[in-house]
Every structure is written in structure tokens, then in C-alpha cells.
């Protein structure tokens, strides 16, 4: 069994379900965050994506402010802001402002990927590739803008100076592990879809970690797909919406999240496809008893400090119920 406390959090993309408006989607996002706060989740992160009809978290910092305003204690942040899309100065100003409005509650998770297709990345920022290669330097700029020492610089993010907004490095490959270790920052791995390099990345991060003024020892976070329902059969039914979503991503036919249907032979065959099977490797789906044993095994093997649960299903009530049951699992394991 797990010997230490494992924190648990939410990663949300403000998914737009078929038949739902954006306003309804954002209201559901806030409702989920409020419930997550009551269930004991540590943080509620929103991920930046663009040019996808089924994802509503494009203006990530705006949505973070909306969620933070409607909650009281849960940490709210980005999981993550895709830094090459942005000027570090603007991000420092945005999150410095959020950090002042909601003290000690805002997180800034930073990723290197565009969070979209090549054409859209080009439309967001024409020098995207150059910015992506400069990711370590861009993070240093963010750190500088948040420091009190930058008060003497010619270029300042005055609303960020001295504001406590912790930085997190996000990754889906081993590159980010080296960087997070070198900078002594917490490391969040996107194992809810990028499963291939999880163990190697964690090993690199822990082995190369250099203590910093913000972190004395490694802190590992891992994304996992979670769908918990009252029965295994019901969880499998809810899972069909995620399967269709993954197929849409891989075939370039992105669509609104579809209502669940019965788990039939066709769906079972789809999830055996090597690419889909690999993407969904760290998916824990079933009743509370079924998921509890799987999660206990994952925590024992990975020794992660925090799990970030991703529940991409159609209906907000089912989503809230899943997060409630998962919180019960984590409380029992802790």
C-alpha cells in the first residue's frame, strides 16, 4: 500500500458536449470546480488548446479567473499555458494579476507544445518554432518578471513583481524532465495521453533534480484518465464518449463530446488498436472497488506525489459523480 500522502487534483479542458452552448459549458466548469473543492481536491487546472470545437479552454487565463472567483480555497491554474504561443511578459502580467486577486491560490503550469495544429500555431505566433526552441530561456524571463529584483529593470511586469505564483513544468517527453530537474521545479507529466516516456521521464527528473529556492526535493505529478461510476458496466458505458473523442483526434475529425452508448464489440475492438491502446494505457475505469485497486498499484509503482485526474465524459452530473467517487478512493488510500 501507499506509504505517503498522495495529493489529487483535476485537469479540465472545459469540454463542449453536443447540444451544449459555451456559456453552459463554462457554467459546468465552475460547478465542477466548486464540487472538487468540497471533495478535497488540491488544485483545478485548465489546459490551453486552440482551434478545436470540443475544447472551451482557449482563453485559459480568463477562465482561470472565472473559476477562482467562484471558489474559495482550491488552487486554480494552468495545466498548462503553452508558453511558445505567448510573450512571457504578457503571461507574467496576466498571472501576476490573478495572483494578486486570488492570493496563494494561482498556479502557472508551462508547456512547450502549441496545443493545436501547425497552421493555427503559425496564426497565433509566426515565430512559434523559434519560441519553442527557446523554452528554457522563456521560462527564465517569466521567473525574472515575477522577482522583486526586476524592479530595477527597464522592462517590467509590475503587477507580477513579488507575487507568489508557483511555476510547474509540464511535459510529455524526456526533454521537459531534464529541464524541470535542472531548474528545481515541480514536474507534471501528461501520462493521460502521452504514455510512452512516463517512467523514463520520472527517473530522469528524480535522478537529475537540483534543489532550488522553491523546492527542496523532486515533486512529481502524473495525469491519469479516471471514470468512476456506481458499477463497472456504467463506467464502461461512460467511457464510450472518450473513445469516440480519441478516435476523432487521431482521424482529424474533432467533434463535440458525444453522449455515451452501450459498450459493444466495436468499441472493444477500437480500444485494442495499438495507437489507441497506448494512448489510454493509464486509464482507470470502473466501479469504486475496481479503480481503487488499479490506482493503488499505479501509486505504488510510480511513487508520484500527486495524481491529476482527467475525466472526459459527456454529462456534468456523471463527471461530478466520478470525481466524488475518486476523491473517496484517494482518501481511503491516504
- pLDDT digits (tens), the chain, 334 positions: 446 899 999 999 999 999 999 999 999 999 999 999 999 999 999 999 999 899 999 999 999 999 999 999 999 999 999 999 999 999 999 999 999 999 999 999 999 987 788 888 788 777 777 877 899 999 999 999 999 999 999 999 999 999 999 999 999 999 999 999 999 999 999 999 999 999 999 999 999 999 999 999 999 999 999 999 999 999 999 999 999 999 998 888 888 999 999 999 999 999 999 999 999 999 999 999 999 999 999 999 999 999 999 999 999 999 999 999 999 999 999 9
Query: CA dihedral in degrees (19, 25, 29, 30; nearest 10)?
Result: -120
Q: What is the pLDDT of residue 303?
A: 96
- Report the 10 Å Cβ neighbour count for 289: 10
Q: Looking at residue 304, what is its pLDDT?
A: 97
The domain 7-232+283-333: what is its CATH number? 3.20.20.30
pTM to 2 decimals? Answer: 0.95
For the chain, the residue count is 334
pLDDT of residue 3: 65
Residue 187's DSSP bridge partners are: 169, 220
Q: How many CB atoms lie within 10 A of CB 149?
A: 9
Where do the H-state alpha helices sit in 252-312? 265-270, 274-279, 288-302
Q: Quick one: pLDDT at residue 96?
A: 98
pLDDT at position 254, please?
Answer: 83
* Residues 110 and 139: beta-carbon distance below 8 Å: yes
pLDDT at 1: 43
* Torsion angle, alpha carbons of 101, 107, 113, 117, to 10: -50
Q: Where are the domains of the chain?
A: 7-232+283-333
pLDDT, residue 147, reads 97
Residues 26 and 63: beta-carbon distance below 8 Å: yes
Confidence (pLDDT) at 115: 75
Amino acid at each position: 500500500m501507499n506509504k505517503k500522502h498522495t495529493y489529487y487534483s483535476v485537469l479540465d479542458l472545459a469540454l463542449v458536449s453536443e447540444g451544449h452552448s459555451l456559456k453552459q459549458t463554462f457554467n459546468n466548469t465552475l460547478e465542477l470546480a466548486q464540487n472538487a473543492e468540497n471533495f478535497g481536491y488540491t488544485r483545478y487546472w485548465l489546459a490551453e488548446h486552440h482551434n478545436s470545437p470540443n475544447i472551451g479552454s482557449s482563453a485559459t487565463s480568463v477562465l482561470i479567473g472565472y473559476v477562482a472567483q467562484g471558489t474559495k480555497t482550491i488552487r486554480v491554474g494552468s495545466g498548462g499555458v503553452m508558453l511558445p504561443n505567448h510573450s512571457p511578459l504578457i503571461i507574467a502580467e496576466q498571472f501576476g494579476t490573478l495572483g494578486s486577486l486570488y492570493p496563494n491560490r494561482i498556479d502557472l503550469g508551462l508547456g512547450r507544445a502549441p496545443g493545436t495544429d501547425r497552421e493555427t500555431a503559425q496564426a497565433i505566433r509566426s515565430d512559434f518554432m523559434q519560441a519553442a526552441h527557446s523554452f528554457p530561456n522563456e521560462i527564465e524571463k517569466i521567473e525574472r518578471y515575477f522577482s522583486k529584483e526586476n524592479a530595477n529593470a527597464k522592462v517590467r511586469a509590475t503587477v507580477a513583481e513579488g507575487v507568489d505564483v508557483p511555476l510547474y513544468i509540464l511535459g510529455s517527453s524526456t526533454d521537459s524532465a531534464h529541464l524541470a530537474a535542472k531548474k528545481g521545479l515541480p514536474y507534471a507529466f501528461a501520462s493521460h495521453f502521452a504514455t510512452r516516456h512516463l517512467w523514463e521521464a520520472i527517473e530522469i527528473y528524480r535522478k537529475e533534480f537540483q534543489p532550488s529556492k522553491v523546492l527542496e526535493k523532486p515533486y512529481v505529478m502524473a495525469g491519469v484518465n479516471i471514470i468512476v461510476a456506481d458499477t463497472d458496466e456504467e463506467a464502461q458505458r461512460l467511457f464510450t464518449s472518450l473513445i469516440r473523442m480519441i478516435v476523432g483526434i487521431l482521424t482529424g475529425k474533432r467533434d463535440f463530446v458525444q453522449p455515451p452508448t452501450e459498450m459493444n464489440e466495436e468499441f472493444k475492438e477500437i480500444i485494442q488498436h495499438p495507437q489507441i491502446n497506448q494512448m489510454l494505457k493509464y486509464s482507470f475505469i470502473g466501479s469504486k472497488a475496481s479503480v481503487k485497486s488499479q490506482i493503488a498499484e499505479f501509486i505504488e509503482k510510480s511513487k508520484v506525489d500527486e495524481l491529476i485526474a482527467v475525466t472526459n465524459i459527456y454529462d456534468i452530473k456523471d463527471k461530478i459523480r466520478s470525481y466524488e467517487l475518486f476523491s473517496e478512493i484517494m482518501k481511503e488510500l491516504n
